[in-house]
Amino acid sequence: MRLKIIVILTGLCSIAGFAQEASNDFGRQVQELLSKMTLEEKVGQMTQVTLQVVSKTRGTPNQKHEVDPEKLREAILKYHVGSILNVYDLALTLEEWQTLITKIQDIATKESRLGIPIIYGIDAIHGANYIREATLFPQSISMAATRNPELVKKSAEITAYEMRAAGLPWNFNPVLGVGRNQLWPRLWETFGEDAYLVSVMGEAYIKGIEGDDNNIGSADKVAACMKHYLGYSFPLSGKDRTPAWIPERMLRDTFLPPFTKAVQAGVQTVMVNSGEFNGIPVHADHYLLTEVLKNELGFQGFVVSDWEDIKRLYTRDRVAATPAEAVKMSVMAGMDMSMVPYDYSFYEILLKLVKESEVPESRIDDAVSRILRVKLALNLFENPYPSAVLQANVGSDESANLSLQAAREALTLLKNNNGFLPLKKNIKVLVTGPNANLRSVLNGGWTYTQGNEESVYPKDKKTILEAIQDKLGRENVVHVEGSGHEKVVDIKLAADAAKTVDAAIVCIGEAPYCETPGNIDDLTLPKAQLDLAAAILETGIPVVLVLVEGRPRVITPLVDDAQAILLAYLPGPEGGQAIADVLFGDFNTCGKLPYTYPRHPNDLVCYDQKPIEMDDSNKLNPLWEFGHGLSYTTFAYSELKIDRPKMKMGDSLNVSLNIKNAGDRAGKAVVELYLSDLVRSISPEIKQLKRFTGVQLDPGKSRTVQFTLHKTDLSFHNRENKFIAEPGEFKITIGDLSVTFELVADK
């Protein structure tokens, strides 16, 4: 029997306050509409189908997508579907979206009995990536490396704006899983391995998408969807949609906080983990979906399943003996909308279950009320159509410049032997490797298609090779592919070419992938790429490795001999330009690792280890730790101070220090505060990130940085699973400085 507990969570009152206010705003309208609805119309609102179901032709690079008007009418008028999602299978142009959404909403609002609009959902995870003209940004793992929540918020604002221009009001993002298994193929969709970092970036994203006041009815805001609730990001095997085993204490200290913060931030919807958690598929988990999410956290929005996952309770997970039992199990667990997505089986089954009193209509009314409230909050009843006013600024130069800035700030310099970088612009270079001259690799999955169709990428966005050619002139850049991602192409030719240049830039990493197709058995970079880099290194020519990858692929044999290593993550369409800007000194790198970069494929650990993992035999020994990242200048920290040596439970603690640019280049320092609880009843993490900020400084300039810590920053779940702070000694570490203080009980 699972332990049921009451957790003290900071801001719980504010959650309830926000929820009550939102409920009061639309409660009367929801109840009035609900009272007019038939059971069939209610169950239809809980049904979501993919665009393919109502399509005549699929979209390909050589064929336009077409909707089938009769299938569309059947979906809306016969089955009363409340939501449609996705593309089939290729991104649409803005004009195509506007035409499609107008057709859908015309039928829903003008031909259906009650005129309830459709809520259309899309995975706009790094910009509105299924609108061909939209602004795309670095993927979330890159955004985490910037340590710049304001950039995250601004990128989300642009995403919401461009979605509304197309008539798309619902974004299946942000991913709030804490990515603590580097093998996991969805790691790049997360904000990294640290719960605090994910929480801060996730909140910034939600406020950008929904607005500071969560007024999603605004013309340029949409509803966010936090996902994937809960535990999806920590599969034991590292493979997608495989079991996670997470103790209750770890769940609440590490994996739940970003979702808690998102509820506090007013997020409107949530998508459920496709996998299973401690043996229970989350789509059937009443404890997580109702007791924790809705009752404990006070979430007032609606819960949507992931792709076909209610069916899979029967077909895959074997916790339901029949399709009907799967539907009943999930709906009674707290599921409000089913991403069916290919048919109307959910509608037919649930309708029958209610008529046979297997599912109470009160549960249906609760789910539909939640869905209607979000539709009302989005202002879809008043205006369900695309915005012609917003159209002119979709894909603007200003938005592209923000994407470029984000890509630059994300790039993380892992190694720079004797200041080898930045490179001079009067040299001749070899550019080689499978990622040197592709646009798709810079963006990763969920870009125009779910795969890697190179032909659909805009040609005006530069590859790494093209950006370097622009810097140096084509005559000073030799390009040889060298290898593909998995196969050798012309390594000898590349090595021979290296002997004719001053330096080699070897661009290696991963091809694009999404979800399960990205599963791997070994984090080690494929042999063909290791062999290419090794052959170039053997020539004695200085080598810069540029890593374009969604997760940290093991490159240990190459590290010692490379002069410099630049981690680009998945920097988006402006990534080629950003990489060239950093390599040649037009931008001073400032990114910080959002995960621990492993040295060996069987040594996958995170930075916030326990003391037992730090003795000699177990000591953390990655290639680079979480938070690592070099600059072309040097920063000196001094005068770390706290405003009191003893902190009472009800107090806050103010921390300050001085930071100076002691080098000869302007640069941005990312200042990170780590906290260590030195002794407690549950073995403490060696250190945990609690605050961070960026400081831009010219050479010789200095600034005082201040942080404030509160009791909740010192708290954890104890042996009784109560959220508490224990009196005792704590240590603050910033850079190479540290200071201790004592937490004392209030008298």
C-alpha closest to that of 583 among 524, 542, 628, 643? 542
What's the gap between Cα 214 and its chain centre?
20
Confidence at 9, pLDDT banded by 50, 70, 90: very low
Q: Is 228 exposed, middle or buried (0-12, 13-18, 19+ CB in 10 A)?
A: buried
The pLDDT score that the predictor gives to residue 2 is 36
Which runs of E-coded beta strand occur in 484-574?
503-509, 543-548, 564-569
Q: What is the DSSP string of 314-326?
A: HHTS-S-SSHHHH
Residue environment code for 686-712, b if the CB has 16+ CB neighbours within 10 A, otherwise e? bbbbbbbebbebeeeeeeebebebebe
CB 159 within 8 A of CB 168: no
Residue 475 makes CB contacts below 8 A (sequence gap 6+) with none
Residue 15: pLDDT over 60:
no
CB 145 within 8 A of CB 629: yes
Write out pLDDT tens, residues 292-349: 999 999 999 999 999 999 999 999 999 999 999 999 999 999 999 999 999 999 999 9
Residue type at 11?
G
Residue 5: pLDDT over 70:
no
Write out pLDDT tens, residues 153-168: 999 999 999 999 999 9
Q: What is d(CA 611, CA 437) in angstroms, rounded to the nearest whole number?
A: 45
Residue type at 502?
D
Active-site option among 194, 253, 285, 306: 306
The pLDDT score that the predictor gives to residue 617 is 76
Q: What is d(CA 238, CA 235) in angstroms, rounded to the nearest whole number?
A: 5
Over residues 4-33, the mean pLDDT reads 52
The pairing of beta strand 702-709 with beta strand 653-661: antiparallel
Residue 22: pLDDT over 50:
no
Which runs of E-coded beta strand occur in 30-92?
47-50, 55-57, 66-67, 83-85
CB 464 within 8 A of CB 431: yes
CB 655 within 8 A of CB 673: yes
Q: What is d(CA 188, CA 442) in angstroms, rounded to the nearest whole number?
A: 12
Backbone angles phi, psi at 719, to 5 degrees: -65, -25
State percent of the chain over pLDDT 70: 97
What's the gap between Cα 322 and its chain centre?
35
The pLDDT score that the predictor gives to residue 1 is 33
- CA dihedral (677, 233, 367, 213) in degrees, to 10, reads 60
Residue 21: pLDDT over 70:
no
Q: What is d(CA 220, CA 209) in angstroms, rounded to the nearest whole number?
A: 9
Which runs of E-coded beta strand occur in 31-149?
47-50, 55-57, 66-67, 83-85, 119-122
Residue 446: pLDDT over 90:
yes
Residue 429 makes CB contacts below 8 A (sequence gap 6+) with 423, 468, 472, 476, 477, 478, 501, 502, 503, 504, 505
Backbone angles phi, psi at 686, to 5 degrees: -60, -40
Helix pair angle (94-106, 149-166), 10° resolution? 60
Tokens at 338, concatenated: 């089913």
Residue 8: pLDDT over 70:
no
Over residues 32-42, the mean pLDDT reads 98
Kindly list the structural domains of the chain, giving each domain's residue range(s) and its CATH number in brackets, ordered by start: 12-46+135-378 (3.20.20.300), 411-613 (3.40.50.1700), 635-744 (2.60.40.10)
C-alpha closest to that of 128 among 172, 80, 96? 172
The pLDDT score that the predictor gives to residue 161 is 98
C-alpha closest to that of 164 among 457, 374, 379, 401? 379
Tokens at 94, concatenated: 């803005």
Residue 354: in which H helix or E strand, if any? helix 345-355
pTM for this predicted structure: 0.95
Mean residue pLDDT of the chain comes to 95
Residue 584: in which H helix or E strand, if any? none
The pLDDT score that the predictor gives to residue 452 is 78
CB 421 within 8 A of CB 632: yes
3-state SS, residue 42: helix
In the annotation, is 213 catalytic?
A: no
Over residues 429-433, the mean pLDDT reads 98
Residue 120: pLDDT over 90:
yes
Q: What is d(CA 333, CA 125) in angstroms, rounded to the nearest whole number?
A: 28
Question: Is residue 230 reached through a cis peptide bond, with omega within 30 degrees of 0 on the bond before it?
Answer: yes
Tokens at 97, concatenated: 């979206």
Write out pLDDT tens, residues 183-236: 999 999 999 999 999 999 999 999 999 999 999 999 999 999 999 999 999 999
Residue 495: in which H helix or E strand, if any? helix 491-498
Residue type at 546?
V
Neighbours of 602 (CB within 10 A): 8
Tokens at 265, concatenated: 């931030």
State percent of the chain over pLDDT 90: 94
Write out pLDDT tens, residues 661-692: 999 999 999 999 999 999 999 999 999 999 99
The pLDDT score that the predictor gives to residue 619 is 84
Residue 7: pLDDT over 60:
no
CB 167 within 8 A of CB 105: yes
Residue 16: pLDDT over 80:
no
Residue 71: pLDDT over 50:
yes
Per the rule left: phi > 0, alpha: psi between -120 and 50, beta: everything else, 351 is alpha
Straight-line distance from the first to the last Cα atom of the chain, in angstroms, rounded to the nearest whole number: 38
Confidence at 11, pLDDT banded by 50, 70, 90: very low
Residue 707: in which H helix or E strand, if any? strand 702-709
